[in-house]
């Protein structure tokens, strides 16, 4: 049986999934797993498509000291204990820069070009590239496909794509890319099945997780996003600041004596919900904490979602549907309820009972537009892109 391996590597974990290629019937998810705790308490966990555990194994810290070693352990388990030898590996790569508007077969030249964007996505890009390099070195004949979070937003028009800076800088690649594109692309495809009557309309998708952004779709294509040149912009996130006056950065550099790397670390790791609350970057912790600072962070998050929804509705010149997705969007009854309250001026009305049970459509009959919860599946999108790049295009089951 032919299989596709999908890899999503982070700073201290490697998540992976295996999909079977099932001819005309499409792709079938076989297993999902991760190696986490890399560098301090490594652990390999894998379950099958029904959620049944296949392995749960810990390792000495020195055995898996980095992401590449984590990928090697996962690959060894797949080959030796599951007899899985994929026909290709698909990778999530956060930043494709101006060079890549779609998935691409990976070689050393591609890796070199993608490494140039590491400073634009320091929480992701170096770790995305680590398992790619490992597989290139150990299995040079294995086809690998890079699937970019920026690619879906390449349909932006020039007004959404530009900053008000000289054109020579735009030509160098300083532009508004947008991120979470694999998630938005998956949701756009699901909308065509779940709600075909609005899938070609004006839709706002709120990808709310530890990383958070929003996207405006028209006719299933991205026309505006809250994120820009980097994944720092837009909504406040777990540890990222979101939108901030560039003058703050200048002040930190010129008046507070911070270096460029210091500011980068600060904006990516010490701000957002964590910085505002002083408690946690995890929304679940904040929702269960009575501290007023936790309440402020939550309300700020909701307020900014409301502001950005207004901006995106203006870009669309109207609104036909609103979609919640990702960890917070899919699971937090409270956040969804509060966001919909913020959208009441647009005519949004919630059905509390549907919201409580996480129904697919949570709007009431009186709402001017439908409001959905649609779970995202970036790995499924990567599997589809990987197979299509190899010359085959079956649909996901």
- The predicted-structure confidence for 55-89, as pLDDT tens digits, reads as follows 999 999 888 888 888 888 998 999 999 999 999 99
Q: What gap in Å lies between CA 365 and CA 225, rounded to an integer?
A: 29
Query: Would you give the distance in Å from CA 286 to the centre of its chain?
Result: 22
The pLDDT tens digits of the residues spanning 189-202 come to 999 988 999 989 99
Report the DSSP beta bridge partners of residue 58. Answer: 43
pLDDT band at 25; cut points 50, 70, 90 = low
The catalytically annotated residue of 149, 320, 351, 377 is 149
Q: Is the predicted pLDDT of residue 393 greater than 80, yes or no?
A: no
pLDDT at site 24? 54
Q: Is the predicted pLDDT of residue 397 greater than 60, yes or no?
A: no
User: For the residues 333-351, what does the mean pLDDT come to?
Assistant: 97
**Residues 343, 306 contacting (CB under 8 angstroms):** yes
Q: Which of 310-324, 327-341, 378-392 has the lowest mean pLDDT?
A: 378-392
User: Which residue is listed with tokens 């790995």?
Assistant: 379
- Catalytic (active site) residue 149: yes
Q: Is the predicted pLDDT of residue 392 greater than 60, yes or no?
A: no
The pLDDT tens digits of the residues spanning 99-134 come to 899 999 999 999 999 999 998 888 889 989 988 998
What are the structure tokens assigned to 327, written together? 């960890």
Q: What gap in Å lies between CA 26 and CA 24, rounded to an integer?
A: 5
Question: For the purposes of burial, counting CB atoms within 10 Å of the CB of 274, is it exposed (0-12), middle (13-18) or buried (19 or more)?
Answer: buried
Q: What is the DSSP letter of 363?
A: B
| Cα dihedral sign, 39-140-102-372 | negative
Q: Mean pLDDT, the chain, as a whole number? A: 93
Q: Is the predicted pLDDT of residue 394 greater than 50, yes or no?
A: no
Domains and CATH numbers, the chain: 3-148 (3.30.420.40), 197-373 (3.30.420.40)
pLDDT at site 38? 85
Cα dihedral 296, 299, 300, 303, rounded to 10, equals -160
**Residues 235, 248 contacting (CB under 8 angstroms):** no
DSSP secondary structure letters along 43-88:
EEEEEETTS-EEEEEE--GGGS-SHHHHHHHHHHHHHHHH----SE
């Amino acid at each position: 049986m032919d299989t596709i391996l999908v890899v999503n590597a982070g700073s201290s974990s490697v998540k992976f999934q295996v999909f079977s290629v099932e001819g005309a019937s499409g792709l079938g998810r076989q297993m999902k797993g991760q190696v986490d705790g890399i560098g301090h308490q490594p652990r390999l966990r894998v379950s099958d498509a029904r959620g049944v555990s296949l392995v749960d194994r810990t390792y000495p810290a020195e055995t898996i000291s980095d992401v590449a070693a984590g990928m090697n352990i996962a690959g060894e388990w797949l080959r030796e204990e599951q007899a899985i030898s994929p026909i290709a590996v698909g990778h999530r790569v956060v930043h494709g820069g101006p060079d890549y508007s779609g998935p691409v077969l990976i070689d050393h030249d591609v890796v070199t070009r993608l490494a140039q964007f590491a400073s634009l996505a320091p929480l992701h890009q170096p770790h995305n590239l680590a398992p790619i390099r490992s597989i290139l070195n150990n299995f040079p004949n294995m086809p690998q496909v890079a699937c970019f979070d920026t690619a879906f937003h390449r349909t932006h028009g020039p007004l959404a794509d530009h900053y008000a800076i000289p054109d020579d800088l735009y030509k160098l690649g300083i532009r508004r890319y947008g991120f979470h594109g694999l998630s938005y692309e998956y949701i756009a495809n699901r909308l065509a099945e779940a709600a075909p009557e609005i899938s070609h309309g004006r839709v706002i998708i709120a990808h709310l997780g530890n990383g958070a952004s929003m996207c405006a779709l028209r006719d299933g294509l991205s026309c505006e996003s809250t994120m820009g040149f980097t994944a720092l912009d837009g909504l406040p996130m777990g540890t990222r600041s979101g939108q901030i006056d560039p003058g703050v950065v200048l002040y930190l550099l010129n008046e507070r004596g911070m270096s460029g790397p210091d500011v980068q670390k600060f904006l990516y790791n010490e701000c957002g919900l964590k910085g505002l609350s002083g408690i946690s970057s995890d929304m679940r912790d904040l929702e269960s904490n009575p501290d007023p600072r936790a309440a402020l962070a939550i309300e700020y998050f909701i307020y900014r979602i409301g502001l950005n929804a207004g901006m995106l509705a203006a870009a669309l010149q109207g609104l036909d549907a609103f979609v919640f997705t990702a960890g917070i969007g899919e699971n937090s009854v409270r956040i969804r309820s509060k966001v919909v309250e913020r959208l009441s001026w647009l005519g949004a009305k919630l059905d509390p009972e549907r919201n409580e049970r996480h129904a697919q459509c949570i709007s009431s009959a009186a709402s001017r537009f439908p409001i959905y919860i649609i779970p995202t599946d970036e790995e499924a999108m990567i599997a589809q892109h990987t197979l299509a790049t190899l010359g085959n295009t079956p649909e996901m089951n």
